[in-house]
Structure 1
Amino acid sequence: MSDTSAAADPGGLRRSLGVTDAVVIGLGAMLGAGIFAALAPAARAAGWGLLLGLAVAAVVAYCNATSSARLAARYPASGGTYVYGRERLGQFWGYLAGWCFVVGKTASCAAMAMTVGVYAWPAHAHAVAAGAVVALTTVNYRGIQKSALLTRVIVAIVLAVLVAVVVAAGFGDTATVDRGAGTELGVGGVLQAAGLLFFAFAGYARIATLGAEVRDPARTIPRAIPLALAITVVVYTLVAVAALRALGPDGLAAATAPLSDAVDAAGAGWLAPVVRAAAVLAALGSLLALILGVSRTTLAMARDRHLPYALAAVHPRFAVPHRAELAVGAVVTVVAATVDITAAIGFSSFGVLVYYAIANVCAWTLRPSEGRPGRLVPIVGTAGCLVLAFGLPAQSVVTGTLLVALGALVYAARRHLNVRMRST
């Protein structure tokens, strides 16, 4: 009998990931720069209400994770919702999901790379960001097991530092901190905070996009996604409560580096440089997993000729979609060298929420025999994604809507051209 760890899918990708590796990749995507960066704008939007926003984001993420897990078990192939949309709703919806994912997550890659630059060497942030993309693209090119091992190390370090932040900020001396209400609590503010915090959760389905590289996907994926999400929710809640205790809502809203500021305020300034180093590692972990996910969706779309077919090639030695990874790395490098990080985050959030809305609709179409989740889960997930998407800042909503419309126009133009070519 052949070793299942060496099995490959028909396209040549090796099924080498078990539950632990899949969970670690999900954690590497979620426990990234978001927790170090998203708390301050969430506090500006909602004050103490950011905790409610965190709860809303967690509920939507849970629905998305459940729907994604059921779909990934049913369709264990690279591409995530691009594949699910194509199989359950038709070619257009699969294409649109893939479009939103690739473009939105490319922007997210740039945002993560810029976070590395800002924390590591602020005076040369763009150059450091571009260098980080080149380095991690090289790691991915050499094979996914190397990527999983590196992600495991990063997650362990970041988790240890976050625990230290919770202890220092949660139990330190903060008697002089003003813990007033901060921003007046309102539904709009809570929803905007939820949308911003959702950006930090959005990595859990990275596991689903690696479906063709997971051993026993029907068992592994449904276990790995909810487990990674549950760990992340617990960590984020503890960190948010500790940061609010240390800084108060107004102090947190004004913070440029929320977690290092929190330990400073709690009298543990010695920990601040460690927190900054962990922020760099966390952003690198997110960037690593993002490049993996975007390149796999690019591979799936290229196989279906929605993107140039040359990107569908799989390296004969490393068993990775090397051309897709190089293309994604090149685009992200250019964007990271010029991007505004705030705009990139908002732009990415809109596209990702639309992507997951399509995933929830796909899950709703599953029959009980196909592993359909409870009817309420995909309904809440779809509604939650759309509400959070359109609750983002106006600039993000307008840019994101134009992006989705552009994707639809590209698809329509391509279909029209194909029809004309067949008729001639």
Structure 2
Amino acid sequence: MSWVGASSSSSPWLLRNSSSLAAPTPTPSSCSKFFKYQSCPPSRLLCLAQSNPGSDFNFVLHDALDSSGTLTSHAREAREGFCSQIRQLSDIERQTSISINRRVDLGKTALYIAAEDDSLVSHSSVPLPVDAFINRFGDLSMDYCSHYNSSFKSSPDRLLESLENYLYVNKGFRRTNARHLYETRALYLHSVLTHRSGSTAMLSLIYSEILKMLRLWGLLDFDVEIFFPHDPHSLPRGYPKKKSKESDHAHIMTSQALLVEILRNLKDAFWPFQHDQSGNLFLRAARAANFIDVSNVNEDSGFQLASAKAAQHRLDRGVWTSVNFGDMRRALSACERLILLKSDPKELRDYSILLYHCGFYEQSHEFLKLYLDTKSRPQRRRSSNSSTDLEEDAVEKLMIRLNLILMEDGWSRPSYVRNFLGNSADPW
């Protein structure tokens, strides 16, 4: 099954609103089947699994926060705004360069991502002003025109050179890499527009949004590609599309790839178990849950295992966020949006193991089963200590653990889950 580039008609995932469904009124028993501790909210984002057309899978985060007393109305509105944009990602649009994209408002989509996370952590009664930040692109473009109006009569190369001088010199936009929780404002568009320090993805997006404004005003009559650098220091640069070479293709950021990059940056920044830097995110969570044998861990396993145990101890006490320890709410939020983007079936797996750590065993089981049903199943070839083998073994152990938990009569949700997602007091 192909996740990237799947059309809405053939996709195994469908975005739906409860207002558009003739769904029956939920009964107490049907609610308890999904959330044993809460009532069913009136509106949800639902995913329909192709492997089981009659089953609706609900995301957990917003409902769990509501049940713990944290209002999520602004977060839900921002999520719906995000979905309203990605619904327009056709096969062609997903593979279209961000500087040539015409259909999806990537700037607004990125701001909806920021608005949801801002609501999750700030608990503000006022939503993030998405439209006000959209207007900043117009302000930047107008300011550029007033300072460099002569560039529109010059060659395309000179025009792009003047635009980069305006962004990176006059306005002082600079690249930074978020390594700690307190630096993650570089991963949110509204913060980058304010502080002018951002990730490569954010600088590329701002560059393309200004080009879009210039094109709308009839001041740009040629297509531009933005060179997305993969080294640690270079800045995004533009060049006329007609000069594009085959070797440039690896550096051309598409609409789908940009949104995936933004969300994976957030997922990486807020993933728990930050002190365990061995392996990918899933393996870190699997190691914390003891799904990976000690014999499979390298010689530095002592520190890694101690860090994993410390992180799990914090989770058990309901400490969901701290500098260098991640933030479960925003990690879950990033996972949910990546699933909606249909970027990679492994996002279902990663989401499942986070739900396991939160104590949402039924939901963890559902998403892990969906991952196993949707991923390709080639014959496994065993290779000693390979990352793939570790991941597959951890998935099998997670499924076994979940099956055992759900088989127990009268199993109950861990007492720390309510505090884990609902605690509103930041630890710093």
RCO (CA 8 Å, sep 6+): is it higher in 1 or 2? 1
Q: Which structure has the bigger radius of gyration? A: 2
User: When you count strand as a share of all residues, which structure comes out higher?
Assistant: 2
| TM-score, length of structure 1 as denominator length | 0.26
| TM-score, length of structure 2 as denominator length | 0.26
